[in-house]
Structure formats: C-alpha cells, structure tokens
Amino acid sequence: MTTDFRDSMDGIESAVTSAEARSLLRIWREASPDRGLPCLDDVSVERLGPIASFCLYARRLPNGDYVYDYYGQAVAAMTKCDRAGFRVSELPRDFALRFKRGYDDCLAAGEPVYTVQRATYAPEVMTWERLTLPLVTRDGVSAVLVFKRALEMQHTFLQNVLKATSDGVIALCSLGGESRSLEDMAVVVANPAAIDTLGVPLEQVLDRPFQQLIDACELAPVFARCAEAFSADGTISYDVEHGGLWRRVSAAYSEDGLAITIADITPYKEQEQALRRALRRLADAVDELGQKNRDLNDLTETLQAAVLEKEEAARVLADEIRSRKLMQRRLEFDANADPLTGLHNYRQFQVLATQELRRAARSRSATSLVLLRAQDLDAIGAAHGEAVQDAVLRSLAGRVAESLRESDIFGRVGEDSFAALLPDTALAGAQEVADRMRRLGADTSVDSGDACISPPLDVAAVTAAPGDRRFEALLASALATMEKSEAAGRHVA
C-alpha cells in the first residue's frame, strides 16, 4: 500500500498527517531561496530539535549511491537498526533500489515528496509516513532529508495472539512486484512458535528470503508445497513428516503476500496409528468371528443330518437349528443391509435418519416418516412356508422402494415393518406417499402354488417437530399413530 503526493506544496501540506512533518515542511520552505534548494546547514539537526529524532540525512555520492550521514534515534528504534554511516547499496536489494529511486526522483523534481507506505521489515510497524525533502550541501553536493515516522503500529492484541498461539505463524511479502515464488518472498512476521520451529533467532528470520531461510534450516521439505498456494484458489493445506515429527502446514496467498501456519500434529498422528492398529485387531476379530460362523454352519449341517436318525432328536435339533438361525439372522441384521430385502437394516436406517433429521433441524425444513407394516405374516408362514413369507416381504419391499425418490431413505425396521424417511416433505405429502404405499401393497401378490398371497397393510405418516433430531421419538410417534388407527379400524393414518 503506497500513497504518494507530488502535485503541489498545498497538496502535500493537506495530506501530511503528523504535526512534526508539517513543522519540518515549514522549516524547509522558510530555508528555501528563490528557485533554489535549501542548504543542508539551514535544516541541520540542531535547527530541527526533537524532530531530528525522526529524520535521516542521505548524501549522494559521485557514483550515484547515497550514504546516511545521520540516522535519527526514533527511526533506529523502530527499525531495530542504526544505519548511520551505511550506504543505501548496503541495504537489502529491494529496499536499496526503492530508496535510491525515491531519493533520485525527489532531487530530480526539486520538490518534497510525501508517501504513506506499508511497513515491510519493521516488525512492530504497520505503516510508515515519509516526507522526503531535497537539499544541497555547502559544497554543492545533492542530499535529501527524510522524515520517517510510524503512522500505524501493529495491533497489540494481534501481537498477543501470535505470541500465545501454539501454532507457528509466518507472513511473507514480495521482495519486488507480484511474486509467485518462495525465492522472491521475505519473512515479515514470525511468532515465537514459528521461531521455535525454524530453530534460529528472530533477527536471522525477518527480512530474509524465505527459500534461503528454510534451506539453511533444513526445513525445505516441510514447506515445499506452500508454493501450491500461488495457484488459482490461493490456499493449500497438507500434513508432512520430517525429522520424526508430523506437522500440518497451511498457506494462503493474497495480493498482500503469503500467510503460513505450522501445527505440530505428532500426537494426533500417533493416535491415528494406534487407531489403525486397533482396526487391524478388529478385522482379525471379525475374521475369527467369520470362521466361528462357518464352524457354526458346519455344526448345523451335522445336526440336520442327525435329524434323519431319530424323530425325537430331530425335534430337539430342529429347535436348536431355529434358535441358531435366529441368532445368525440377528448377526446379519447387525450389518448395514437387511439380508432378505437388501434394504437398510434398522441400525443403518437409524444412522441415516438421524443424520437427515439433524440436517433438517439446521435448515428448519420439514421431514416426515411413513411406517408400513404387513399383517398376518406369521399366518402366511405357517400356511405356506417361510419361503413364501420371505417372497412376500421381498416383493413388497421392491415395489415400495421403486416408488420412492432417490433422496428418500427406506429400510426394514422390523420383521414385518418398513419405514421411509422423506426429506423436505410436510405431513400432507407424507400422507399421499402412505396412501400410495397402501395401494402398492394391495397390488402386490405372490403365487404360493395354490393361492396368490397379498397381505393387508397398515400405514402411518407423521412429521418431525421443527428442530427435533430424535429418530426414536419420530418412530415412536408413527407406531402410536398406527396403533390408534388400527384401534379405529383404519389402515392408513
């Protein structure tokens, strides 16, 4: 950010912010002879008094360079360095070019130049106010008097936040022009956590080209992907392991520069690795359970073979087989899919429905539940066999599933019950779906060989209360509605 005023003395006077700069401008103007530049002796340190603490005197050398004959104490304190006796060419290249160009332009114009610029290397300064005044020494050598004062300091709270955070924070600014390379960017901010990560003192970090710094610290692999933030989206975040430590590095690029954060995530990675080991142990346990299940199936076949030997033993073994089949079916129901219909089982339906109810609670949208229950399944099984009973359930589930939207959630929630969760659907719409389900059930029949089986259905529709995320409460409401409807002799509620 640079604001530059060169148009006229009146324009500069109206733009100057501090009283000291206005006083200096008045002293310079009073010392200016007609159509000539003031002599340096007429605006000497003694003449300026306290203002001199904010001033620099730079004399032009025959080779075009400049040397600082005087460097004010206040400026030295803000910049953390005293450049008295230094040449401009000894400054970092970017600053040397900028300052030399500014001094040359001021002398060429023979007029004051006032600028407000963002600080790029003073860690405590946000913006500088600069007033550059052309002078000439008694020997006729060109010189400039530069008033330089911090116009805006870095926010104290931000400094405290940077000091307090356990994550490293580094800010980079371009060394010149628009840069999209780590080689062309220098460090302007580094909090204590970042200094600990880099392992070098703060004074060796600030103003230093970033690529040179991380190469010297042997941390180039940690920050290598930060350059990807120069792409169109401007951000990158990744995890990297280096030197036995895991770090999460995030970088964000803008026209002001590149901001980088570094967090030590080693404890979380260790927890992740421990979790992976636990998952492997769980997988082994599942394999062991599968083997036991296969062993159980082998035992079942053995028991079934023994049924042929004795009638009494057959009845006992048949009870055992039914018990084991029930156990096996319950185990299968613990998986996500119902083994008979291929729909979501109760547990999976509960998970998906709870997620959808939470989404609906956040967006304050209507969500309804339709409960469908087939009657007389036990009687069908007793009269025609379990195969016919299962075929009825599969046929009913398939036809209802085909009639629902892709966004609807449909699952088997009981031996004879199905449920459909309808996102973004009010009660009236849910009742229409319930009525359609009942008609589909009435049109569904299974040929048992001696009859076409079509069980009667009970259907109930309810809507979740606004903001209610409880699946169990919604299902209980549907059951209560269905039971109330059955008591009243109705099949649709």
pLDDT tens track for 42-77: 999 999 999 999 999 999 999 999 999 999 999 998
Count of beta carbons in the 10 Å neighbourhood of residue 209 = 19
Tell me what pLDDT residue 267 has.
92
pLDDT at position 94 is 84
* For range 153-179, the mean pLDDT: 73
Q: Between these two residues, 70 and 94, which has the higher pLDDT value?
A: 70
| Integer Cα distance of 168 and 151 in angstroms | 28
pTM of the predicted structure, to 2 decimals: 0.35
Give the pLDDT score at 150: 82
400, 343 Cβ separation under 8 angstroms: no
Look at residue 332 in the predicted model and tell me its pLDDT. 58
From 69, 201, 54, select the one nearest 130 (Cα to Cα): 54
What is the predicted pLDDT for the residue at 144? 96
Q: Is it the case that residue 15 has pLDDT exceeding 90?
A: no
The stretch 171-186 carries a mean pLDDT of 77
pLDDT at 315: 80
Q: With cut-offs at 50, 70 and 90, classify the pLDDT of residue 2.
A: very low
32 pLDDT tier (thresholds 50, 70, 90): confident
Structure tokens at 423: 């996102």
% of the chain surpassing 90 pLDDT? 42
366 or 184, higher pLDDT: 366
Report whether pLDDT(85) > 90.
yes
> What pLDDT digit, counting tens, does each position of 105-164 carry?
999 999 999 988 776 666 667 678 889 999 999 999 999 999 998 876 655 556 667 777
Tell me how far apart the alpha carbons of residues 205 and 186 are, in angstroms, rounded to a whole number: 9
Q: What are phi and psi of 136, to 5 degrees?
A: -145, 140
Reply yes or no on whether the pLDDT at 87 is more than 60.
yes
| Per-residue pLDDT, 313 | 74
Q: pLDDT > 70: what percent of the chain?
A: 90
- For the chain, give the mean pLDDT: 86
Residue 284 neighbours by CB under 8 Å, 6+ apart: none
Q: Inform me whether the pLDDT recorded for 491 exceeds 90.
A: no
231 neighbors 191 (Cβ within 8 angstroms): no
Taking residues 280-295, what's their average pLDDT?
Answer: 92
